[in-house]
């Protein structure tokens, strides 16, 4: 893989569609098997710990439900690559409109799902 994180791996690939003269250099981001289950379990466990801590020391601890709800919202959005693709598309449009000298990789149409997505490979600067 080109990169690995807690949610997914990114692999370089070549895509050749019927009618293409040359393969397209792409990367495919694939969610680790079981990531959603592990994150949901972690959030559940955090909720249990927050409730126990609140019972032990109700005056000393703030209400952590808003924090936990925010964590849930962010985590679930990170686990759905369709949402990430929508954000990436919006970022690309903004960068293009504003004339910022940044390249946002183009998504590969038809290759975006909840647990996997493909986009153009862009060689970066190290």
Q: What is the pLDDT of residues 94-110, one digit of tens each?
A: 999 999 989 999 999 99
For the chain, the farthest-separated pair of C-alpha atoms sits apart, in whole angstroms, at 69
Its sign, for the CA torsion 57, 60, 63, 64, is negative
Tokens of 86: 């929508």
The residue whose two tokens read 């703030």 is 62
pLDDT at 91: 96
- Could you tell me the pLDDT band of residue 124, with boundaries at 50, 70 and 90? confident
Would you mind telling me the total number of residues written for the chain in this entry?
Answer: 126
Distance of CA 90 to the CA centre of its chain: 15
C-beta of residue 3 within 8 angstroms of C-beta of residue 9:
yes
Write the pLDDT tens digit of every residue in 35-82: 989 989 999 999 999 889 888 888 878 888 899 999 888 888 889 999
> With 80 as the cut, is the pLDDT of residue 122 above it?
yes
Its sign, for the CA torsion 47, 67, 4, 88, is positive
């Amino acid at each position: 893989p080109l990169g690995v994180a807690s949610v997914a791996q990114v692999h370089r690939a070549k895509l050749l569609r019927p009618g293409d003269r040359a393969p397209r250099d792409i990367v495919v981001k694939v969610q680790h098997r079981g990531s959603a289950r592990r994150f949901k379990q972690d959030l559940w466990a955090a909720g249990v710990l927050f409730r126990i801590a609140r019972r032990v020391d109700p005056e000393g601890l703030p209400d952590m439900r808003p924090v936990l709800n925010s964590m849930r919202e962010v985590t679930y959005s990170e686990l759905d690559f369709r949402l990430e693709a929508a954000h990436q598309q919006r970022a690309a449009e903004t960068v293009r409109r504003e004339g910022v000298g940044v390249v946002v990789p183009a998504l590969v149409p038809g290759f975006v799902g909840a647990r996997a997505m493909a986009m153009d490979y862009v060689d970066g600067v190290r």
